[in-house]
Structure 1
Amino acid sequence: MPEIENIKYFALLEEFETSHKLIKLGFGELQNINLSNGFYFLPFQLLSQGFERFMKAYICLGHLHKHEKLPNSKYIKNLGHDLEKLLKEIIENYYRDFNRSQFNLDNEFIQTDSDLKELLFILSEFGKLARYHNFDLITDNAKIGVNTTQLWEAFENKVLNSKDYEKLMDFNLSHEVYNKISTYIIVVFEKFISAISRQFIFKCLGQKGIQLSASTFFDFGMLCEKDFGKKDYRSQTTKYKETPKKVHKRTILDDIQRNINPEFKSKKILKSEYNGDWPFYADKVIIECRQSHWCIVTIDGFDYALNGSAKGRYKLENPHDAGMAILGKSISNFIKMALELNTT
């Protein structure tokens, strides 16, 4: 591959770094959506910008590898803001078979997955016109964009089932519904980004591709089926960093109370012995029910609220919000087991 001017090389590197940060922040803001935070505009803005910049930087690199020169401005401008069009351009011109079974899985996903197509359409519409939807309404603009929030909510509703709607009515479990939605969507996007990023790892874009992506999209390229939907991206966001995590470090007195107070029932549970989908990052926890109402879980010496009653009484975070449980995995069975300790 020919050499390119340093100023252009570092500009391309900056685009990969910027898009990588935007995408991760977008995922984090999706995970921040909950009953009290319905600000979809922010993740839409971050993800539409992040995906567009990533794919355009990828196309520049692909063009350099294929034609031994960078594309001109007319070529890039003609691609516009349509994410589906950008992906089509990549597939048709700069997406190569790296002779692994993973390629077939990646290729089939990015070309045929209906969820990916629908989500990219929504973000494309947001990037093109819909971000100014309200101003178009206010000013009687004849060329008005679609309401992407409504389209997104319609997609979310397809993810949910009758049990999820029941959870929305349950103070203890409503947050799990939002976790399920964000996890489902992020899995789709992680599969999309990792499929494209693997082109770097398998040298489909040459040595420059490895150099330019080494500090950015290699982490996505290394993801496989067992990894999707497991990462908590909220730690990247300002909202999560600035929100104090209300946890309680246990004391000797707490342990004495647990052992001698007849109104405090507790049980240690090990991941290796649990028959179900283990929701915690730690391999063992202790569940406790106090006075038949307040359920907590102890993880690595700290207490977290299992149910809403304990959250209100002790001012504790639940394990999901504290980053101690995997988003998208329910803790409802642990609440049930803690309450059942009173009957044993």
Structure 2
Amino acid sequence: MAWEMSLEAYQAALILAGCGDALGSGSKATLKEIGVVENIDVKPAHWPVSQNTVLHLVTAEALATGHHAESLWPEFATRYVDCMSASMMSNRRPSTSILRATARLRPSETQGWELPFDGSRTAIEAYPTARSMCIGLRYHKPSQLGSLVATAVESARMTHHHPTAYLGAVTSALFTAYAVQGREVREWGAGLLQVIPEVLGYIISTGRDVDDNQREWCYFGDTWREYVAMRGILDGESRPKFPRRYGAERRREVYQRFAADNMVPGRCGHDAPLIAYDALLSSESWEDLCNGAMFHGGDGSSSGSIAASWWGLIHGLIGVPDRHHTQVEFRDRLLDVGTKLYAMSF
């Protein structure tokens, strides 16, 4: 029987992204410190979503307008500027890098959404990665890979113009598309390694800060190749290799190994999706996923949001406690835009 993607899976992908973000925002703790994950009530008062979900939501809503390519870029920029308002960011403390970048965007001006290359440490942050799953929902067909790459790159470098950031965004979108296509999770890492050169081709074709981008290019791909090789899935066919007991301490060692220097695991564009992918590969239940992607002791907001979105596409809401998703912030808007993206995509 051919693989079929459902409306409910699209809705779950958006809603659980918010849920994973809210749970992961408290991820400097571990599940042992927090208690039984099923007992957590994800409500705005105590478990609000972060800026990641706000930006993911408005990215999805921009995609749902039907704009495409060059007509979509100012739509993104307008919504990124507007969502920095007090009403959407109240009590969220958006990052300095996001505030600084959105303050420089000029959506009404020609190319007013193009920011120059940024070689600073904040430029490699994971924020663009955690708002790009919806791009894979919109452009999920193999024939749409070029649109997926361009959209993820341009969305990301409106705030973080650095390869580590926008390649993370491409990864988040690409793996979402793979989930929609019904590809086995073990195949995804090898697929990414094949797509990275195509992203470089797109960067070169745009002619923007090409030398700067090429100078910082290799770190992302080298890190991911090392990870995929470590798990024994370079061929895209083999079963991933994990220790017999892959508990919190072993995970923490792995995640720290792939973290950027002097940064906690999950903070950057390369390792937030890597942690999310590792958690998805090794999890047999929603609680497993929470332990691996959200409560890993590092920065779990981005990795938690990404992993939960992929989980929603594959499993829907089955096995997810109602108290985790029925009152998550912005739930109605996430449900609505998931419905719209599904209608546009099938």
Larger radius of gyration: 1
**Length-normalised TM-score, structure 2:** 0.24
Select the structure that is richer in strand: 1
**Length-normalised TM-score, structure 1:** 0.24
Larger RCO of the pair (alpha carbons < 8 Å, separation 6+) = 2
